[in-house]
Amino acid sequence: MTKLWGGRFQKSAEAWVDEFGASIGFDQELVLEDLEGSVAHVTMLGATGILPAADVEAILDGLAQLKDKAIAGGLEFTVANEDIHLNLEKMLIDLIGPVGGKLHTGRSRNDQVATDMHLFLKKRVQEAIDLIVAFQHTLVEKAQEHIETIAPGYTHLQRAQPISFAHHLMAYFWMLERDKQRFTESIKRIDILPLGAGAMAGTTFPIDRLQSAELLGFSQVYANSMDAVSDRDFIVEFLSNSSLLMAHLSRFAEEIIIWSTDEFKFIELDDAFSTGSSIMPQKKNPDMAELIRGKTGRVYGNLMGLLTVLKGTPLTYNKDMQEDKEGMFDTVHTILGSLKIFEGMVRTMTVNTERLHQAVHADFSNATELADYLATKGMPFREAHEVTGKLVFTCIQKGIYLLDLPLDEMQKESALIEKDIYDVLAPEAAVRRRHSLGGTGFEQVQIQIEQAQACLA
Ligand code: ARG
């Protein structure tokens, strides 16, 4: 088969060499964006008088037919035509005749492919933002149900201080809020059009780049044609933002997995988001959470992959850049899928409030309350810490918790301790009293939820 660029060549590459160089196996995912870019380009070629109206009409008609076929899944791509751009151009020429060959006037695959990537990512980042918002709504709803559900809070995965379960859930809301901001902020760097940069130096045709930008919905064009075809920063940035998003989802996934164990039993996942074991009939595994935790690895890998591809590529386009695609597509699918699953998993999970209640009543996570109590009564905090530590040790030896320790035993360590200490030590009180801004006190959590709702409004 003759190549669209075959004029200068005396012989063809062998099929297996073509296969190695081809990107059609994966860049066919850009089919609609490539057609969209071509429609704008040829429209501009007509408006500027570079192509006669009749040619433009024929080409637009051909492109529309190809689009219909693409949507119906009826396009058959071939490795012999290397990539999505040449496949479509060849199809266009086969469909409407040699006039189809005028489409590529004043354009190169270099500005074409970069345009496709910008178009593709702009839409997908918006989808990611929408899914983040949906997940945030679910978190707020779940949190509202559990403002007064007391749960153990951890540091070092050791019981630390009692918290409102809503406070724990809302921590993820704010991580997602930053992810959403990062993705939103990144759109302005995706929203720059490379089309019209040509191969890298611009073109002698009197093109109108601003018109192309308007037709394609871009608010800016690249100021430098060399930068336009070389820039993959916007993809790196997407992969970086996605990596951080996945880090957050992965931490949450890890907690879901821990909370689902028999040892914790803080939550139960819905059957619809769990799987069984082929051998152990009793198993209910948090596979979806594990998979999201696992998929975080490939997203980090995609980021490192592209950074490494770009490093050391001289200006401007190099075939290395074809390697920007699979990692980007893979990341798009991974984050969209993970966000969708996570939202459903959290929306349908059951929070075991009884078990959480039981948990905070069988630990020393109220020890800080005792130390704070003594400090409020004038004892230096360091000393109060020591006294409390001793009382905790006494309890451990007796196999009881602070609330079970008789008053006289406590008073042996400090005469400042009075009967009201039992109210102070109640985990519920420990949470309620944490009034500091952004703390876990019920009122503060309520305020925080209102702030969150304002972010979503
Ligand atoms: N398939 C190529 C890519 O994805 C398209 C651009 C090819 N340009 C070129 N000069 N070979 O990067």
Calpha distance 359→290 (Å, rounded): 25
C-beta 110 within 6 A of ligand 1:
yes
pLDDT tens for 41-98 read 999 999 999 999 999 999 999 999 999 999 999 999 999 999 999 999 999 999 999 9
Tell the residue nearest (CA) to atom 11 of ligand 1.
319
Of ligand 1's listed atoms, the one at least distance from the Cα of 83 is 1
Judged on CB neighbours under 10 Å (0-12, 13-18, 19+), 260 is buried
> Which residues of the chain are under the pLDDT cut of 50?
none
Do residues 187 and 122 make contact, with C-beta atoms less than 8 angstroms apart?
Answer: yes
- The DSSP code sequence of 277-293 is -SS-TT--B-HHHHHHH
C-beta 440 within 6 A of ligand 1:
no
User: What separation in Å is there between the alpha carbon of 310 and the centre of ligand 1?
Assistant: 15
How confident is the model at residue 397, as a pLDDT? 96
Tell the residue nearest (CA) to atom 1 of ligand 1.
83
Catalytic residue IDs: 156, 277
Which pTM value belongs to this model?
0.94
ipTM: 0.97
> Which domains does the chain carry?
11-105 (1.10.275.10), 110-358 (1.20.200.10)
C-beta 317 within 6 A of ligand 1:
yes
User: What separation in Å is there between the alpha carbon of 454 and the centre of ligand 1?
Assistant: 45
Calpha distance 1→12 (Å, rounded): 8
Residue among 79, 83, 104, 316 whose CB has most ligand 1 atoms within 8 A, to mutate? 83
SS3 269: coil
C-beta 27 within 6 A of ligand 1:
yes
Calpha distance 144→125 (Å, rounded): 29
Residue among 110, 316, 325 whose CB has most ligand 1 atoms within 8 A, to mutate? 110
The separation between the first and the last C-alpha atoms of the chain, rounded to the nearest angstrom, is 57
Tell the residue nearest (CA) to atom 7 of ligand 1.
109
